[in-house]
Structure 1
Amino acid sequence: MIATLNRLVEHIDENLTEELDIAELAGRLGTTEYHLRRMFSSLAGMPLSEYIRRRRMTVAAADVVGDEELLTIAVRYGYGSTEAFGRAFRAVHGIGPGEVRRSGGPLRSQPQLRFRLTVQGSTPMDTRIADRPAFRLIGHTARVPLIHAGVNPHIQAHILALPVTEHERLKALGDAEPSGILQVSADVDPDYTEGSELTYLHGVAVRGDTSVPDDLDTIHVPAGTWAVFRTCGAHPSALQETWAATATEWFPSNPWRLRPGPSIVAVLDRSPDFATATTELWLPVERDQQHAAARLP
């Protein structure tokens, strides 16, 4: 995966003035757009689309300080008007192209990224691979913003709004793995952009033939393979650290890649105040046939 990401950033720099088809490029690199975007954002700390915009505006700055018409420059970098180009330019540099042309700056630079895998072994990962038939996730859903670190107050408010008796009812309904009360994130932005909206479900897993009460929301999950990561410790920090380590350590070192689908956290045990917990993180995966190396033809 590290080689794939480095070839990706090389291709981006070689084609900054061209329209980039990330899905087609991912296929040529032997992976999927979904996995490529998720791994890039996890390791780079920014969405792939944001990195492309920053690199384009970094290189475009050299053109802006020259004498060429701004509309010509805008079109070269894929913008249909000087206004659209100016907004993108200002978002990166904090100053418009006209001001840069008059004063020369200040300008902000986005260097070309290089990915490296540092094997430290500092994060032991208790992992298993599970093949599951189709099942359903049932419970109560809400649209919430994605927050990378710390407690998500929107999810917390959603859970607290449920009566205590509802948690017991949900537990009684669950009859499939993952077991127990589940925290489900679905419809997540492939770039994993912080602040983007996702569907959060608080509920349980049931078999395909289980009768479901009409007042509960349902997410249908097709048959597939899952990587299951067990965590134990301070909550939610231990879980979030493991989640981050899947991108930095586990996926680059194992022949699996993410596939579209919900991510699921099963709470197996917890302290009364939820300060500590034992959880399982379920991520939908598929075998990566190009794990050893990936090269553009």
Structure 2
Amino acid sequence: MLKYILALGIGLLSTIPVPTQAAEPESCRKVRFSDVGWTDITSTTSTASIILEALGYAPESSMLSISVTYASMKNKDIDVYLGDWQPSMVADRKPYLEDKSIVVLGPNLVGAKYTFAVPKYASEGGVKDFADLQKFADKFDRKIYGIEAGNNANRMIQEMIDKNDFGLKDWTLVESSEQGMLTAVDRAIRDNKWIVFLGWEPHPMNTKYQISYLTGGDATFGPNFGGAEVFTNLRTGFTQECPNVTRFFQNLRFSLEMENEIMDAILNQDAEPKAAAEAWLKAHPAVVKPWLEGVTTFDGKPALDAVDGAIKG
């Protein structure tokens, strides 16, 4: 089923008609993003917004949960979501693929991972696999640290606990937020205490802390440490209404290094997301060129000239 759904999503990309036109209708000027509050998606949304502003669009972002994001796309209140992590979010998007209320582009990122992580000293102490957690339950205080309530990963973790997978029935899922979880991780590592938490890459946690990802979670998070690709989702109808900006989203590709660096500036250097993204783009101007192939400004002028001028400022 997963392969079918992914194939369906990717197949949609190849069938999207993107006719050439000199300029977009005024209704396309405002591009409405959903940002679910993860720093990686905030980073990519900010980066895309900077480019769109340079092209003459008026991007705006709303902080929404995953479930509200998809409902809002179905209701045509949100146009774009850059954070469709697969396969962990397959259940979230499935009904909207089935009723054809969203279109899947991408992936916009490959090589990501998403599963349980522990500090390196806990791994060296014997925790290398999900099955090792219960052996050291007291050292972990029988707690698994997740992110915001309602997140699909939290739901999967709670299902593991409810089903007593790996003997975790008396463990507790601690829900807070990405920042709340990282604060707990920071405190634990500073005090040399053991902690198990939801880890992922891209994220500066991978460079700020010495952490190890656990094997054994394939049934929950997928193989290769929850190996993932991140897709761009558009509301159905957007591709026909706004073909020029759709072409931009079709072209849009990020890298682990790029996202790690922008996220590090946000999380560890107190930079505002758009300022962090703008600084990265100024330092890496060549990355923009393939994003703009076949794209014009909102009013039909050369895209690369407009973006180069805005970035170099």
Q: Do they superpose with TM above 0.5?
A: no
More RCO (CA 8 Å, sep 6+): 2
Which structure has more helix as a fraction of its residues? 2
Structure number, greater radius of gyration = 1
Give TM-score, length-normalised by structure 2: 0.21
